[in-house]
Structure 1
Amino acid sequence: MPRLGYLLPTREQIMVGRHETAPLLALAERAEALGFDSVWVGDSLLARPRHDPLTLLAAVTARTRSVALGTAVLLPALRNPVVLAQQVATLDRLAEGRLILGVGIATDVPNIRAEFEAAGVPFDKRVGRLVEGLALARALWSGQKVDWDGRWTVKAGVLGPTPHRPGGPPVWIGGSVAAARARAGRLYDGWFPNAPTAAAYDGQWQEVQAAARAAGRDPAALTGAMYLTLAIDEDGARAEATINTFLEQYYGMRPDTMRKRQMCYAGPAAGAADWLKAYADAGASHLVLRFAGDPERQLETVARLRRDLGW
C-alpha cells in the first residue's frame, strides 16, 4: 500500500501575509495524528518566497515522532554543497534518520532565473552543480577524509556530525523528461516527479528502474514517488475555481498552463480516491499531497479516504 505525505503550505502562508510558523507546526502535528507517513516543505528564495525548508524541518522534528520529513523539492544548486552537507547531516541527526532529501534542478522561467542570479549561481550550470554538489555531500557524509578538485575544492576535509544513517539520507530527484528519469535511476534513491498522468506513470517508472539496472544498481531499492495537488470539494465547479485561483496566485502563470505541467485534481472526494489509487496502481509507492485551500478539512478528508481504500 502507498505511503501518503503532506506538503506544509509555507508558500501559501507567505502569499497571504502570514509569516508565523506556529500554524505550520500545528499542521505537521495534525498530519502525523491523522496517520500521514511524511511531512514536506518546499524551497525557494525569491521566486516563490517561503520559509527556509531545512530550518523549518528542524522545528518539525521536535514536534513529531514518527513521520518522515522531506524537502519537496530542495534546489541544491543554489547552495554551497559543503555547507549543505553539514546542514543536512545535522538535520538528519535531529530527525534520527527520518529525513528524505527531495531535490530538483528548478524550472526554466524568468523569476527562477532571477533567483539564481540573485544567489550568484549560474542558472545554465544548475544540472552539473546539482550532480557534483550532491556527490560531494555524499562523500562528506561518509565521515572520511575528502579531497575534491572540481567546481569546489576540498583538501583533506572531514565532516562532523555524520548523518544518522550511514551514507546520508535517501535522495529523491524530481523531473519527468527522459534525461531526468535516467539520472534518477543511475544516481539517486527515488524518483519524485509532478508531471506524469497515472496512465503514463508506469512506463516512465519502468524507465527509471531500467536505468538503475543498467548502472548495476538494484531497482527494487528505489522509491517511486509522486507530487500531487488537490482541491477536494463536493461542489465540482467550486473545486475547479479554487485550484485555478491557487495555481495562478502561487506561480503567477495561467492555471491551464500549470495544469499541463503539474498533475492536479479538483472535485469530489470519491473522485480523489480514484485518482490517488490510479497512481498507486501504476507503481507510485509514496504520494506527496499539496492542498489548494482549507488544509485542515482536506487533511481530514484524505485520512478518511485512506481508511476507505484500506491503505
Structure 2
Amino acid sequence: MAVRIGYLVPTRESVMAGRHEAAPLLALAERAEALGYDSVWVGDSLLARPRHEPFTLLAAAAARTRRVALGTAVLLPALRNPVILAHQVATLDRIAEGRLILGVGVASDVPNIRAEFEAAGVPFERRAARMLEGLRLCRALWRGEPVDWDGRWTVRQGVLGPTPHRPGGPPIWLAGSVPATVERVGRHFDGWFPNGPSPQDYAATWTRMRAVAREAGRDPEALTGAAYLTLAVDEDAARAEARLDAFLAAYYGQRPDAMRKKQACYAGPLSGARAWLQGFVAAGATHLVLRFAGEQERHMEALAGIGATLAH
C-alpha cells in the first residue's frame, strides 16, 4: 500500500502573525496539490486557538483543487449541533466530490479549551459522549432517509439533503491515544489519527485497534492508520531545534520540552526526517499529515514526494 502524505495549512499560525487573509492559505493548498501531496488539512478552534473556520476554508480549497483529499485536523464535533454539522459536512463533501475526510477529536483538557466550550454553551465534561452520539446522528442523517432520534437531540422524521457524495458520508478518523480510543476506533471509526505516540507506541496501539475491529466483526484492513506529525527540517540541526522550540512555545504557550513529550515532533536534516517518518510507516501508518514549523514553501518543497521513498 502506498504511503500518502498530507499537508497542514497554517491557519492558526497566520492568525497569530496578524495575517487574516484567506488567499495565501488557499494558494498553499494549491501549491501542495501541484507538488504531489495527497491531502490538505486545516485545524479547528473557536476561541482557544483562533483560526479560520474549517468548513468554509475547505469549501474554497475544494473549488481550487481537483485531486487532493481535504480534511480536518482535527474537528471538535462536540462544539456543534449535529444536525447542522451533518448538513455542513454533506454539502462540503458534495463540493469536494467525495474528497473529504473528517479527522475528529474529543478536545484536550486545558483551561483555554474549557473556556471555549463554556463560550459555546457546551458542557465540557460531557464532550466525549456528545461527540459519539452526535456523529451517530450525523451518520443516520447522511442516509437521506427519515430519521427519528431521542437523545441529547430530538429529531422527528428529519430528512437531510443533500446527502454526501459518498453513500454513508465521508470517512471519520478519531484522534487521541487514551485507552478508550482503542475501543472507539476498533468498533466505530474509519481510522486513527493521533499526534502523540512514538512509533513503538503507535505500533502497539494500532495492533490492539485492529484486534478490536476483528472481534467486532469489522475488516481491520478497512481501517486507516494515520498520524499528525510536526517537523522543522534544516541541514543545520541546531537551527532546526531552535525553530521547532520557538514554534511550539508560540503555538501552545507552553514550554517546548513539555510539548515534545506530548506530540510527535522532529527537528533536523532531511535524511533524519525520512528515517523518522519511516518509523511510523513501519508501525502501520499509511497516511502521514505533516505540520511544518514555519517556512511553509521551503518545507513543502523539501518533503515533496517523500511518500514514494517510504517502504510500507
% identical aligned pairs: 70
Using the TM superposition, name which of 97-106 and 196-205 deviates more. Answer: 196-205
- In 2, are the aligned partners of 1:234 and 1:269 still within 8 Å (CA)? yes
What count of residue pairs does the alignment treat as equivalent? 311
Aligned to 2:277: 276
Name the counterpart of 2:90: 89
- Residues in 2 aligned to 1:246 and 1:201: alpha-carbon distance in whole angstroms: 24
Match of 1:52 in 2: 53
Matches within 5 A, 1:1-311: 1-303=2-304, 305-306=306-307, 308-309=309-310
Q: What is the CA–CA distance in structure 2 between the aligned matches of 1:274 and 1:197, rounded to whole Å?
A: 13
Q: TM-score, normalised by structure 1?
A: 0.98
2: CA distance, partners of 1:184 / 1:258: 25
Q: 5+ residue gaps in structure 1? A: none
| Letter of the 2:157 counterpart | A
TM-score normalized with structure 2 length:
0.98
- Structure 1 CA distance for aligned equivalents of residues 304 and 14 of structure 2: 23
Please state how far the C-alpha of 1:226 moved relative to its aligned partner.
0.4
3-state DSSP class of the match of 1:226?
strand
d(CA) in 1 for partners of 2:270 and 2:305? Answer: 10
1: CA distance between counterparts of 2:44 and 2:3?
25
C-alpha distance in 2, partners of 1:298/1:309? 18
Q: Report the aligned-residue RMSD.
A: 1.1
User: 1:217 offset after TM fit, Å?
Assistant: 1.0
Separation of aligned partners in 1, 2:143 and 2:192: 23
**Distance apart, 1:307 and its partner CA:** 5.1
Which secondary structure state, in structure 1, belongs to the residue aligned with residue 67 of structure 2?
Answer: coil
Cα deviation digits, residues 43-77 of structure 1 (max 9, x gap): 00000000000110000001100000000000000
Deviation at 1:210, TM superposition (A): 1.2
Contact persistence 1:175–1:181 (CA under 8 A): no
Find runs of 4+ consecutive structure 1 residues off by over 6 angstroms: none
Alignment partners' CA distance in 2, 1:189 and 1:308: 26
